[in-house]
Amino acid sequence: MMNQAQIAILAAITASVFAALVVPGPSSITVMRASLTAGARCGLATATGVALSNSFYATAAAFGLAMVIREAAPLMIAIKLLGGAYLIYLGLRLILSEKHTDLPIGRQKPMSLRYAFRRGLLTDLSNPKTMMAFLGIFAIAFPTHPTHELSVAVVAVIACLSLSWHCLLAGLFARPTLRRAYQGFSRWIDRLAGGLISAFGAAIAATSA
């Protein structure tokens, strides 16, 4: 059973991670767009992929793997370059796509749950900013030599928090009112989302220099 100091650490990390989650980024945009274009089930599948990626980064930070990656400068540069390039690619696909949703309310754009899950997972894994956020939070709030119990508890809480938040986004953006609004401005919304994701990718790649 955790003592009061460990509970305080867990609470601090939980609050910090939640603050990072609510700031919109490529992963949140991907979840929201999946719900808008393909419905709640695909939005939830995308949210699950993002939450799995967050859980991976939390595990890496809690058990020391992320610290090893941070100390290996060439590997960190490669991660930033590849991750940034992938985000730019995703953004450009949205900007240049001529296929925009124009479906009656109640119907969705075809998308498999497997594809939605994979898109959420890869989008978040390819975003080095996610890893850097976890590194920063854990560097400040996590003890140098944590107990196994605390490490497991932190990962479990972050996994549940990430899944809950992104599923909430998926549910909200699957609502008919928002889907109707999206269908009226899909071209411009897709371009805006693509521009934001590409900008995130370019900024990340630039920091590798």
**Do residues 144 and 4 make contact, with C-beta atoms less than 8 angstroms apart?**
no
Q: How far apart are CA 11 and CA 184, in angstroms?
A: 42
As to burial, measured by CB atoms within 10 angstroms (0-12 exposed, 13-18 middle, 19+ buried), residue 149 is exposed
pLDDT over 90 (residue 85): no
**Do residues 124 and 130 make contact, with C-beta atoms less than 8 angstroms apart?**
yes
Say whether 144 sits in a helix, a strand or coil: coil
Per-residue pLDDT of 98-115, as tens digits, reads 554 444 444 445 689 999
Q: Return the percentage of the chain with pLDDT > 90, whole number.
A: 24
Give me the residue spans of the domains in the chain.
26-206
Please tell me the predicted confidence (pLDDT) of residue 93. Answer: 75
Entry pTM: 0.72
